[in-house]
Amino acid sequence: MKLKKTERRQAIQKAIDSNPFITDSELCEKFEVSIQTIRLDRTNLNIPELRKRIKLVAEQNYEQIRALEASEVIGDLIQVEPNKSAQSIIDITEDSVFMKTQIVRGHVLFAQANSLCVALIHNSTVLTQESNIEFIEKVKLHDTVRAEAIVLNKTMQHYVIEVNSFVKDTLVFKGTFKMFYISEERING
């Protein structure tokens, strides 16, 4: 059963509030309306397009990182809980893929995961000591990759962080990173 315009707009607002990264296409499927209808509803609700919503969230999260400049993070930082977890997304563009196959270059996925690990550690000096990574599925031009990092262990010098990267709900990359950091106490002590 289709919703009336007012009800649909309220439901769209709730859907975007609960998941700011939901696409217009996903909203079309959810509410069984055209993409033009979703865009008109978003405009009426003063909700920016997905790319602008991502940038707004990322700008708020960049204030929480210490070891990198915002421009050094590969992808857009969409969630960060310092020293615990973080997420980023990256849109795969032509400069990220091999021209013949349109498949992403491996270093792009590694760089997204690695910079996410550095960004989540709330110290000014963070370096990658080791990593164990696995490429699971092909990622192609125009895919959006969401990387999720979570701290597994912390010592006086290292964090061990697990990163899982997805295209939609499909796991495409996973890795464990051992990150060396210099604590502020060691610098000042």
Distance of CA 184 to the CA centre of its chain: 28
* pLDDT (mean) for 56-81: 71
pLDDT in tens, 135-181: 999 999 999 999 999 999 999 999 999 999 999 999 999 999 999 99
Output the pLDDT for position 122. 85
Phi, psi at 187, each rounded to 5° = -70, -45
Query: Checking phi first, is residue 151 left (phi over 0); if not, alpha (psi -120 to 50) or beta?
Result: beta
The H or E element containing residue 182 is strand 170-182
Q: Which domains does the chain have, with CATH numbers?
A: 5-47 (1.10.10.10), 65-188 (3.10.129.10)
3-state secondary structure of 43: helix
Query: How far is the C-alpha of 14 from the C-alpha of 85, rounded, in Å?
Result: 25
- Per the CB < 8 A criterion, the answer to whether 113 and 132 are in contact is no
Query: How far is the C-alpha of 43 from the C-alpha of 45, rounded, in Å?
Result: 5
pTM of the model: 0.73
Q: Which comes out higher in pLDDT, residue 51 or 1?
A: 51
